[in-house]
Chain A
C-alpha cells in the first residue's frame, strides 16, 4: 500500500469538499432572499400538511395569499381552531374583526337514491364519473346521486359511503372536510356545511315541484311550507330550493316535521 497515494487522494477530496462548502456558505449569505417574518410565522402556524384542499400549491402558497389578504383563514380546512385564532392575532385581526373560524364537514345534498326513478337500466362497470358520461347517468333527476361511489373511492378517510337507500352519506366522525368528494362528484351535490348547522335540505334539484315529483319521491317540491313555518325566518326559497341562514336558525326542527317530502333533515339524525 502506498500511503502517499491515499494521502493525496484524501487531501484532494478534503480540499474539494472544503472549497465547495465555503462557496455554498458564501453564496447563501450573499444571496439570501429576505423573508417576511410575519409570513414565516403564519406559515409555521398552519398545519403544514400540504394537502392542497385549499386549492393552493401547498401551505407556503396559502400563507402568502393569506398574508396578502386575498383569502381568509377559513379556506384552510384542517388547521386547528386554536392555531387559526393565533394566526388571526398575527394578522392583527382580533375581537370583532376576527374571521369566524368554524369546522366544516362535507354533506350530500340528495336523498333520492332508490326513491328516484331510473331513466334506463345500466349494467356493467362504472363509477359515477364514467356513468355520468352516458346521458348524465341512469337517474332521471339531473342532480340525483348516482350511488356508484366515486366519492367513496376518493375519500382518504373512508368517511363517505353509499347507504342501503342508494345515495352517498358522510360519516362525520371521520370527515376532515378535505373536499376530494366535493371536487370529484360529477353531479356537484356534495357541499361543505358548518358543524353547528342543525338542519339541511337533502335535495339539489332546482326544477319546479311538478317536475321534481315526477322523477323522485324524496325531492324538494319547493312548496315553501318550511319558509312559512320557520319561527326564526331563517329559510328562504331561492330557485326552488330552501336556503338556510344558519346564523338565525335555532334548530327547532319545525321545518323537518312540516316538510311534506321529508327532504329537510336533521343532521344529527342522519348519522
Chain B
C-alpha cells in the first residue's frame, strides 16, 4: 500500500511539473512534438531513477555519518552531473540504439531542477510519505519521472493542435503554451487530497 501511495503521489498528486513547478525549462523547450517529448520523458525517468538511488545512498551512508548534511545540495549537484556523464558514456558504448534515442536529451537534464528536486525530496524526513529505504527512493524517482513524462507528452500533444489553431498574435508561441500549462496544472490540482 505504501508503495502504491508513493507511485500515485509522485505521478498525479505531486506531479513534478504541474504541482511542484520543477523542470519547467524542458517542459517548454522540448514539448514541441509528442515524439521528442516522449524520448525526453524516457530520459528523465532514466536519470531520475538512477539519481534517486545514488543520492539516497550518499546522503544516508556518507553525509549523515560525517555530519555534513549542510553540504547536501552542493554534493548532490556534483554527483548528479557526473553521474549523468558517466551513464551517457556507458550507454553510448554498450547500447548505441538506446543512445540514439536518448542521447541528445541526456546532457540536457544533467542539471535539471526536477532531478535535483527528487533527490532532495527523497531525503526529506518531514514529508507526508517518508522514504525510508533505497527501494522506495528508486520507486519515487521512477514515478516522478513518469509523472514528468505524462505532463510533457500531454502538453506536446496540445501544442501540436495549437499550431493550426487561430490564436491572437500576442499569444502566439510561448504565451499560449504557458496558459495551456497553467490550465493543465489547475486540472492536476484536482488530484490534491486523494492521499
Residues on A with C-beta less than 8 A from B89 are 24, 27-28, 31
Q: How far is the CA of A24 from the CA of B81 in the complex (A)?
A: 11
Residues on A with C-beta less than 8 A from B187 are none
Contact at B68–A27, with CB atoms within 8 Å? no
Contact at A24–B78, with CB atoms within 8 Å? no
Contact at A24–B92, with CB atoms within 8 Å? no
Selected interface stretch from B2-10, B69-77, B178-186: B69-77
Q: Considering the complex, give the chain A residue whose CB is closest to the CB of B83.
A: A20
Residues on B with C-beta less than 8 A from A13 are 71, 74-75, 78
Known contacts A9-B71, A16-B79, A24-B82; A33 and B93 CB within 8 A of each other: yes
Q: Considering the complex, give the chain B residue whose CB is closest to the CB of A28.
A: B89
- Name A33's contact: one of B68, B75, B85, B92 (CB within 8 Å): B92
Known contacts A27-B86, A125-B166, A130-B164; A17 and B78 CB within 8 A of each other: yes
Contact at A8–B66, with CB atoms within 8 Å? yes
Residues on A with C-beta less than 8 A from B78 are 13, 16-17, 20
Contact at B90–A31, with CB atoms within 8 Å? yes
Main secondary structure of the interface of B (DSSP, over half): helix
Q: How far is the CA of A8 from the CA of B66 in the complex (A)?
A: 9
- Name B68's contact: one of A8, A20, A28, A125 (CB within 8 Å): A8
Residues on B with C-beta less than 8 A from A8 are 66, 68
Residues on A with C-beta less than 8 A from B75 are 12-13, 16
Count of chain B residues with a beta carbon within 8 Å of a chain A beta carbon: 17
Residues on A with C-beta less than 8 A from B71 are 9, 12-13
* A23 within 8 Å of B (CB atoms): yes
Chain A residues 49-92 with CB under 8 Å of chain B are none
Chain A residues 117-174 with CB under 8 Å of chain B are 125, 129-130
Contact at B68–A9, with CB atoms within 8 Å? yes
Residues on B with C-beta less than 8 A from A17 are 78
Q: How far is the CA of A16 from the CA of B78 in the complex (A)?
A: 8
Contact at A24–B85, with CB atoms within 8 Å? yes
Contact at A20–B66, with CB atoms within 8 Å? no
Chain B residues 82-115 with CB under 8 Å of chain A are 82, 85-86, 89-90, 92-93
Chain A residues 1-27 with CB under 8 Å of chain B are 8-9, 12-13, 16-17, 20-21, 23-24, 27
Chain B residues 165-187 with CB under 8 Å of chain A are 166
Contact at B86–A23, with CB atoms within 8 Å? yes
Residues on A with C-beta less than 8 A from B164 are 129-130
Q: How far is the CA of A68 from the CA of B117 in the complex (A)?
A: 44
Q: How far is the CA of A218 from the CA of B55 in the complex (A)?
A: 72
Q: Considering the complex, give the chain B residue whose CB is closest to the CB of A20.
A: B82
Q: How far is the CA of A125 from the CA of B164 in the complex (A)?
A: 12
- Name A12's contact: one of B66, B79, B86 (CB within 8 Å): B66
- Name A31's contact: one of B68, B70, B79, B93 (CB within 8 Å): B93
B117-156 toward A: CB 8 Å interface, digit per residue (1/0)? 0000000000000000000000000000000000000000
Q: How far is the CA of A129 from the CA of B66 in the complex (A)?
A: 65
Residues on A with C-beta less than 8 A from B70 are 9
Can you report 10 residue pairs joining A to B where beta carbons are below 8 Å apart?
A: A12-B68, A13-B75, A16-B79, A20-B78, A23-B82, A24-B85, A31-B90, A31-B93, A33-B92, A125-B166
Given contacts A12-B66, A27-B89, A31-B92, list 17 more A-B pairs with CB under 8 A.
Answer: A9-B70, A9-B71, A13-B71, A13-B75, A13-B78, A16-B75, A16-B78, A16-B79, A17-B78, A20-B78, A23-B86, A24-B86, A24-B89, A27-B90, A28-B89, A31-B90, A33-B92
Interface residues in chain A, defined as those with a beta carbon under 8 Å from any beta carbon in chain B: 8-9, 12-13, 16-17, 20-21, 23-24, 27-28, 31, 33, 125, 129-130
